[in-house]
Structure 1
Amino acid sequence: MIRMLIVDDEHIERIALQRIIEEGSPDVEVVGQAANGREAIEAAERLQPDLITMDIKMPGINGLQAIEKIRESNPTVKFIVVTAFDTFEFAQQAIKLGVYDYMLKPSRISVVLETIGRVANEILMLQQELVTRSLERERLQKMTPLVEADIVEQLLFDYVQSTPLPGMIDLVGFPTGRDGFVMTLQFSPSSASAEEGQLRHLDDVYMQINELSRGMSNPIWLGKMSGNQVPAIIFLDGEFSYRAQAIGVAKKWIQALDGKHGFRLFIGIGGVRKDVRDMRKSYQEALLASMDQSLLARYCLYENLTQDEIQAIGVRNLEMEKIVLEEIRRGNLDGAGDQIARMIDVFEGSGQGVGLSQQRIFEVLIVVTRMLQDMGMEVCTPYFPYSTTSYMQLKAEARMLIHHLVQVGDVVETDLLQTMKLYIQAHAHEDLSLERIAATVDRNPFYVSKLFKEHFGMNYIDFLTQYRIEMAKQLMQETDKSLKEITFEVGYNDPNYFSRVFKKLVGHSPTDYRKMLIRPTNKKHS
């Protein structure tokens, strides 16, 4: 609906024009009238009309003066001037002020409706264009974090994307200051052992990191969460030094995130690079800076490390090896491969040669093999067929070896899978761990995780989540229980978390989904 203000010093003229509009222009609403220029300025400020019909000859502030004043605060409003003068001088002034059209007094009703209709159509087209632009901006805002994450992957991890890097950078725009550095946000469980259900909170942690990044004064490209780590490229902004800005950003993240959802946060900070193509080196420095996470400050700058400390880190890092073993134990081969790749980045950053790095990775794979054998698994013997010549090649071969250590047989264990499915469905409302499910079929957790992935195309936690959401949908359909009651009945302790999971899988919030349901009125009593 177009909002219209009528300005004329003759009362009868205002009444007549409003009646014409109300009877002949259904898309236009007269929201007010003004009898002179001063009233017009005040009414335009108060009512925010889209269209104003402005009488030119009025006492005090005339129409053209009022138009000039109104335009200062509302530059988008359209004007139709109403005048008894059809002169060249008036036309020049009107064009200069951006008047859209004008009507001579008196005008036939058909001319009035035609003129106002023409302007109203133009306003509607502009409003639609603004809506379209707003939707495009919203889509771009949603897409920007995904593009930035892909950029970070290409710059830091040797990943090759389908879209060339320059094209993606053009899409998100380059920050004004191109000097930047890399931070690695490392999350570790607060307790000695991570609960399986605790891992799902990393999604919430990542969402919070994203929100905090948008509120920072420094432009930030946030990478994807891989395992327990999130890399970020931070660009320098303002007059403060690199060190001051790096510590400032780290402290804000630590204050907001450390200890939340059962995770401790430690941030490693790499050195400044003037070219984004050199950010990989800063990333390696950030990894080196995050090796010793016992510091009370919860962050460390690479420039604070001594050369002896750097070399010692590169020789061996037990903490990273423990993470590899934990990922293997959980059956997360991709996560183990990512952690192996980080170890290789640390070796490269500390100046350790490719040959020695290959030997160190081989030692880790031997430890992994022994652990799997102790779990009762049949594993292939890991070996590198030849000496690698680059860190990139070493990472690719190490990932391949990780995935080939264990091969799940081609024969589907139908009874075993069915038993696990039925057990999950019967106990979905409880806190189910991978170990608990594995115990029901007398298998080790790693094998169960592998089996689920191989034959259901998802891990057990995704299977459990889908089943819980289907249970919730059924309860919404067949009962009048509150959403809070349903949340606890299907196995969730946090209604907000349940709502996010439901919307992610179903596409609608629980409240909206329930509104869409058509349930029989006698269902409750049947």
Structure 2
Amino acid sequence: MYKIMLADDEGIVIDSLKFIIEKQFGSQCEIRAAKTGRQVIELAEEFQPDIAFMDIQMPGINGIEAMREIRRTNNHVVFIVMTAYDKFDYAKEAISLGVLDYLNKPVSREDILRILNKAMAKIDGERSKRSDDLKVREKLEIVVPIIENGLIQDLLFKEYFKEDIDNYKTLLGIDCDYGYMACMVFGRELVGNYMTSAVAASIQAQKSYKEIHTITDDYIKGIMGNVMSNKIPILIPCENDTLSYNERNRVVENARALCRKLADRFDMDFRIGFGSVKPLERMGESYEEANSVLIQNTSHVAHADDMPVACQYESNYPSDLEKRLFDEITLGNINEAVSISQNFFEWMEDTYGNDMDSIRLKCMEFVLWAEHLAYEKTGRMYEFKSRANYLSELMNLANLPEMKAWFVEKIKSATFWVSNKQEEQSMSAVNKAKQYIDEHYMKELTLDDVSRVVNISSYYFSKVFKEETGENFIDYLTRLRIDAAKNLLKTTNKSMKEISADVGYSDPNYFSRNFKKYTGKTPTEFQKGE
């Protein structure tokens, strides 16, 4: 359906246009008309036409001024200007306003239909684009929250590669490398620092999540995660590595106003804690701080920078370097851990080079913690006396270069444990499996039997066995049995049935088929040397 408005002070022109349009398009068009500039403006406000045939010269307000007024309330209307030949200057001005085309009076039926089809095609295109835009918007309303929550979950639980975070930032248009976390907590009422009826509040928050999200956006410009128990995590990206006093004060005041707004709307109590600014990959720490400040006080809003909950360092201490070192150890990145450990030792050397004992203590502290992380990550067997010589080794190091070499080597070793955990475990399991198969191939043996022996699921065992040996379990077992059979055929006078049973085949015919498949000969042919 197209809404068409006819604006002309001559009734015969209106009647002619209406007749031509209705005859050609029938019920596809709804037609309304006006004869003065004022009537045209009023009709356009009420009718909201898709297409408007406009005469330039009309009583009162002329067509040009009328179009300007109509454009204020109707951006999509398609104007078609009609004018007499001697008013061509007006026509040029109309075209400058974005008019689709103009017609010189008198206008032929063919010209009217031509330009009307052109206008309808334009409208159809715009409608299609608007429809596509709405579909995209609807999809984004579904997809964007999933992406946002994915980013927050990955950051909080550290289940990501750096490339994942870069992709999230690109998809969400985040240009910042820093941010801080907010923790929104809700319950029926606050008793001390404890929220009552957390389960009921969580259910209500799940049902009202969209509205909570919309209200929160007016006060905190960040990325909201999903409801987790009676909490909602919020990531607030920022450009700088710290918040100024004024910025922090504004954040707290906005959060206080938000808590009041949400409490009034949902008949629940709300609290919000803020962590300190950190690199994005350390949002888990910021979220822990946001939780901690809420636990440590009874305020509805609390900020970690107002009441520090994390370890405080002397001003020149390279805490970021320390954090990065242990992150790289945990990830098993050997080269990165070695490089950072060298940088950290050089800082100690430059800053406290005359205090050898303090440097020794710091080296011991870092090495012990690095190995602690490695034990946790790898499941290695801890032996109480495994570090018995560490203290004496350190004390016997006479100079800083020797101490640095000891320190870096220990850090490298701990990181190597983590890096090679999976490979070592896989190799150990495969070697154990191969030994078991070698000793039991003459018995009935299945993949499940062997995977039970090495205590790995049959699916994962099959995968690592193929990766480490280059052949799957059944091929390895069959090759082992055929090799044993070949030896028996050449060195004994046993019957085919006996040899078949000796290498693990209960069916001699099946044994013969497998033997020929792997050797190209039957057992008899092989035995005779054919």
TM-score between the two structures when normalised by the length of structure 1? 0.51
Which residue, out of 258, 269, 276, partners 1:271? 276
Instruction: Say which is worse superposed, 94-103 or 299-308, in terms of deviation.
Output: 299-308
Give the 3-state SS of the residue equivalent to 2:106 in structure 1: coil
Number of equivalent positions: 329
2:199/2:230 contact within 8 Å kept: no
User: AA paired with 2:256?
Assistant: K
- For residue 164 of structure 1, give the secondary structure of its aligned residue in structure 2: helix
Match of 1:55 in 2: 55
SS of 2:287 mapped into structure 1:
helix
Contact 1:50/1:78 (CA < 8 Å) preserved in 2?
A: yes
Aligned with 1:305 (options 304, 307, 310)? 307
Residues 152 and 37 from structure 1, CA distance in 2 versus in 1: closer, same or farther, beyond 3 angstroms? Answer: same
Local SS of the residue matching 2:291: helix
Going from structure 1 to structure 2, the CA distance change for 1:58 and 1:156 (only over 3 Å counts) comes to: same
Q: Which residue of 1 aligns with 2:214?
A: 214
Identify the residue that residue 406 of structure 1 maps to in structure 2.
none
In terms of fraction of residues, the more helix-rich structure is 2
2:236 equivalent in structure 1: 234
1:121 alignment counterpart: 121
The secondary structure found in structure 1 opposite 2:85 is coil
**SS of the residue aligned with 1:165?**
helix
Q: Displacement, 1:261?
A: 9.7
For 1:357 and 1:255, locate their aligned partners in 2 and report how far apart those are by CA, in whole Å. 46
Equivalent residue runs for 1:141-152 within 5 Å: 141-152=141-152
**Alignment partner of 1:243 is 2:248:** yes
Aligned to 1:234, the other structure's residue is in SS state: strand
Deviations 1:91-116 (A, max 9, x none): 53232122112233333334322321
Deviation at 1:151, TM superposition (A): 1.7
Distance change (3 Å), C-alpha of 1:244 and 1:306: closer
The 1:48–1:209 alpha-carbon spacing in structure 2 relative to 1, beyond 3 Å, is same
Deviation at 1:356, TM superposition (A): 7.3
Aligned amino acid, residue 136 of structure 1: V
1:225-253: per-residue Cα shift (whole Å, max 9, x none)? Answer: 44554321135799993333333354355
| One-letter code aligned to 1:244 | N
Structure 2: segments with no counterpart, 5+ residues = 192-196, 314-364, 384-410, 423-530
Instruction: Provide closer, same or farther for how the CA distance between residues 90 and 263 of structure 1 changes in structure 2, counting only shifts above 3 A.
Output: closer
Cα 1:261–1:87 change in 2 (3 A) is: closer
Q: Work out whether 1:19 is the aligned partner of 2:19.
A: yes
Mapped contact 2:56–2:62 kept (Cα < 8 A): yes
Aligned residue type for 1:284: E
Equivalent position SS for 2:144:
helix
Unaligned runs of 5+ in 1: 312-351, 364-382, 398-526
Superposed CA offset, 1:180-232 (max 9, x none) = 4211234679799xxxx984863541453553233323312112344554321
Q: Does 1:154 align with 2:151?
A: no
Contact 1:210 1:222 in 2 (8 A): no
**Distance between the aligned counterparts of 2:269 and 2:371, measured in 1?**
31
Q: Deviations over 1:240-269 (max 9, x none)?
A: 933333333543554466799998755432
Aligned counterpart for 1:285 among listed residues 260, 284, 289? 289
SS of the residue 1:80 aligns to: strand
Tell me the secondary structure at the aligned position of residue 303 of structure 1.
coil
SS at match of 1:241: helix
Give the structure with higher Rg (CA).
2
Q: How far does residue 51 in structure 1 lie from its aligned partner after superposition?
A: 0.9
Q: 1:287 corresponds to which letter in structure 2?
A: N
1:112-511 superposed matches below 5 A = 112-160=112-160, 164-174=164-174, 180-186=179-185, 199=199, 202-215=202-215, 216-234=218-236, 241-252=246-257, 254-255=259-260, 266-273=271-278, 275-292=279-296, 295-305=297-307, 385=381
State which drifts further: 19-28 or 200-209.
Answer: 200-209
Q: Give the Cα separation in 2 of the matches to 1:118 and 1:287.
A: 62
Alignment deviations for residues 315-351 of structure 1 (CA, whole Å, 9 cap, x no partner): xxxxxxxxxxxxxxxxxxxxxxxxxxxxxxxxxxxxx
Q: 1:499-523: per-residue Cα shift (whole Å, max 9, x none)?
A: xxxxxxxxxxxxxxxxxxxxxxxxx
Question: What is the alpha-carbon distance in structure 1 between the residues aligned to residue 265 and residue 47 of structure 2?
Answer: 47
Q: Judging changes above 3 Å, is the alpha-carbon distance between structure 1 residues 242 and 353 closer, same or farther for their aligned structure 2 residues?
A: farther
**Amino acid of the structure 1 residue aligned with 2:6:** I
Q: How does 1:61-140 map to 2 (within 5 A)?
A: 61-85=61-85, 89-140=89-140
Is the 1:147–1:168 Cα contact (8 Å) retained in structure 2? yes
Query: Is the Cα–Cα contact under 8 Å of residues 56 and 90 in structure 2 kept in the other structure?
Result: no
Conserved in 2, the CA contact under 8 Å of 1:149 and 1:224? yes
Q: Is the 8 A contact 1:286 1:301 kept in 2?
A: yes
The answer to whether the 8 A contact 1:205-1:257 is kept is no
Give SS of 1:14's match.
helix
Percent sequence identity over matched residues?
26
